[in-house]
Amino acid sequence: MPFNERLDLATFTKIAEMGHGFDRDDFMRDVVQPIVMAHLEEQRDAGRMGRFEGIENRSMRFPDAWNAFLAGTEAEWQYTLPNQMAHFVLIWAIDGKIKGDREDGGNEAEAIPAAYAALCERMDEGRIVKPTFMPIMTPQPAVDDIRCEATGVRCRAIIEDWRPRLERLEMQDRRGWIPLEPVEKQPAQTVEIDLPTGELLIADFIRAPGVAEAYERAVDRQMGDSRYGPAGCTSSEIGRYATTRAVLKGTGMLEISTRDVSVSVHRDGDSLVFTDAHDHTDEAPRVEGMTVVGEICCDRSTVVLADRSIVAKLIKDRKGRLASFLSSPDGEDVVRMDVEPGRWLVTFGEAIHAPEDAAKLGVVTTARTWFVMKRIG
């Protein structure tokens, strides 16, 4: 079915004339998304659509959602496909409106239908490019800010004849857009942490007076400018690993990135396991052979863990600020635990998140495992 039989000019014009706000958001979700997804389903079922290739061992929301759509399954970020395709329609509508509003002879009565005709042509061809907005500009990919959440690289999707490919932005050796290379899967990560007294403090962050300031100074000294570049960006897997190591080296505290979830602490003697507090059945999971001893609400999308003496040393606590904080209502969210003092091995990373991968470490659970700790000396 031609795209103009799914989306008529009147609906396109209505999109162009709608301003920012909830009404337009609702209209795009309820009206436009079903239209563009019906069009994609027709192309998929006719075998016209190709897969994004070479994205194994990466986490990329739009390509993952595209490939899952082709396979008839759901990706974790499945909503990005209808969102992005509806946004493509919106950009063409906005372009027509802008060209019609220009003072240099723009005519909305002509510009919006012209933008509509161009959109329908591209949707029928499977050539997904943005309008130019300016005559001197060349057409741009419609999906041009795709981030690889494993490596942090910035990518764009080129879609022609319903066949997609990815390019990444090279800023070092070869400047410009180049084909995205394959990447190896990151193995499980390990670090070692000292717990001198065994008085363990666990939270999404320890918000005692002076901790945040001392933490920031220490991590800045440790990472320098790399903290704010791709190598230390916590929106990527390798950036999160680098940050964990830098925080530990600079402060003596362990910081593991999670998501905005609740995390359960499981214990058996000199072993600790940190998992999602709920599994896909919405039940409280159990780690075989372990007991739940605490739960952390990760509003900061992290778990921070440290020996009490390390925190006191970090803030040069001579006035009992840490003790006052822990005894106050503000300190109630900190999980406190006595463990055997000494050196502990921490295993973390994407490679142990899935229950089947965690099982290789002896962690039998139905929930995502964030990290595991064992005393080693």
Separation between Cα atoms, residue 128 and residue 139, nearest integer Å: 10
Q: What is the pTM of this model?
A: 0.70
pLDDT band at residue 64 using 50, 70 and 90 as cut-offs = very high
Least confident of 2-16, 84-98, 222-236, 352-366: 222-236
Indicate whether 232 pLDDT > 70.
Answer: no
Separation between Cα atoms, residue 47 and residue 44, nearest integer Å: 5
Separation between Cα atoms, residue 307 and residue 22, nearest integer Å: 47
160-166: average pLDDT: 94
- Report the pLDDT value the prediction gives residue 338, as an integer from 0 to 100: 96
Convert the pLDDT of each residue in 28-57 to its tens digit. 999 999 999 999 999 999 999 999 998 888
Cβ–Cβ contacts within 10 Å for residue 288, how many?
12
pLDDT band at residue 135 using 50, 70 and 90 as cut-offs = low
- Report the pLDDT value the prediction gives residue 255, as an integer from 0 to 100: 96
User: 315, 321 in Cβ contact below 8 A?
Assistant: yes
Q: Structural domain boundaries of the chain? A: 3-179, 189-375
- Report the pLDDT value the prediction gives residue 224, as an integer from 0 to 100: 76
Indicate whether 103 pLDDT > 60.
Answer: no
- Report the pLDDT value the prediction gives residue 142, as an integer from 0 to 100: 77
Least confident of 228-232, 281-285, 318-322: 228-232
